[in-house]
Amino acid sequence: MTRKRIALLGTLVIVTLFVVYPHPRLANSQVTGGGQFSVSLPIPKTKLFGGRILQVIPCTCSLYAFMYIKVGLPVPAELVLTYASLQYLWYSYKLGSWALGDAVPVKVGCYQYVGVSCVQTQQGFAIWHIGTSPGLK
């Protein structure tokens, strides 16, 4: 795939995520226009995760994915941190840090530059919210 196709695919995925899974604060409210039209937005179903960070891989060739994160017990998950993810607390994505949050149940690919092109090395759920501990020193 060329960079243009990857960029177009990434943009399409991000737009689809925001249309299908709007922000939870907006999901509970009603959008009104002129007093005659109202739309109730759906609440997204998310997958909860929490545990120690076991693996971190940067997505060097993805335009929409920042890094792949594997979280261990007690609630393990394979995740992809996107530029649209809401981050809280320490922003520490080191091995051994604790992470807690929720993710949209849509698989997102993590692409890395290998040789002369970009290939998908990992995939995981797109992170919606994440908070981390300061990590080990």
What tens digit of pLDDT does each residue of 67-122 get? 999 999 999 999 999 988 999 978 889 999 999 999 998 899 999 998 889 999 99
The reply to whether 137 falls in a domain is no
Does this model's pTM top 0.85? My answer is: no
Q: How many domains does the chain have?
A: 1
The reply to whether 19 falls in a domain is yes
Please give the distance of CA 54 from its chain centroid, rounded to a whole number.
17
The reply to whether 65 falls in a domain is yes
The reply to whether 51 falls in a domain is yes
Q: By residue range, what is the domain housing residue 91? A: 3-132
